[in-house]
Every structure is written in C-alpha cells, then in structure tokens.
Amino acid sequence: METRIAVISIIVEKKDNVEIVNKLLHETSDYIIGRMGVPYRAKNLNIISVVVDAPNDTISALTGKLGMVDGITVKTVYSKA
C-alpha cells in the first residue's frame, strides 16, 4: 500500500471539543510519526501539528472528520516525495 507524508495543522478554537480531536487522532495513531501541540493563551486557542505517513484515503478521512468538528480548523500539506 502506497503512503504519503503529510503535516496536518489543526487549530482548536473551542477547547470543549479537544477530546474529539484526540479521539480521532488516537484512531489513526499507527500512522502518526510525531505530534506537537502549542497553547496560544493570548488568543485562547491551541495549535496542533501532526506528521503522518499514511495512505491518502486515511489522511483524507481523518482531515474530513476533524474538519466537521465545531471550532476546529484543519489544513493539510503533502510532501512531494
């Protein structure tokens, strides 16, 4: 199965929904290479960067589910490699 490397950027504006984000990330934890979370207290939000090596369908499904969560913004950048 062919995989792609991508960085998924997640901005959490509603902290009540961070449990949903963590649950979705846990479901795809086999594909996660690394994760970094940064609280931005001045703006009352959190920024999460997740690096994955996964099939394109898995990445799309994850970002689609994350994007449907209220108060969550998601963007994905794919490697050319």
Query: Under a CB-based contact definition with an 8 Å cutoff, are residues 76 and 28 in contact?
Result: no
Q: Say yes or no: domain 4-78 is CATH 3.30.70.1150.
A: yes
Q: What is the pTM of this model?
A: 0.92
Query: pLDDT tens for residues 30-76?
Result: 999 999 999 999 999 999 999 999 999 999 999 999 999 999 999 99
Residue 59's alpha-carbon distances to 3, 6, 15, 34, 46, in angstroms, are 10, 8, 23, 14, 21
pLDDT surpasses 90 at 1: no
Question: 5 pLDDT band (50/70/90 cuts)?
Answer: very high
The whole-number pLDDT of residue 80 equals 85
The structural domains of the chain, with segments of one domain joined by +, span: 4-78
For residue 49, what is the enclosing H or E element?
A: strand 45-54
pLDDT surpasses 80 at 81: no
Cβ atoms < 10 Å from Cβ of 71 = 15
The whole-number pLDDT of residue 29 equals 96
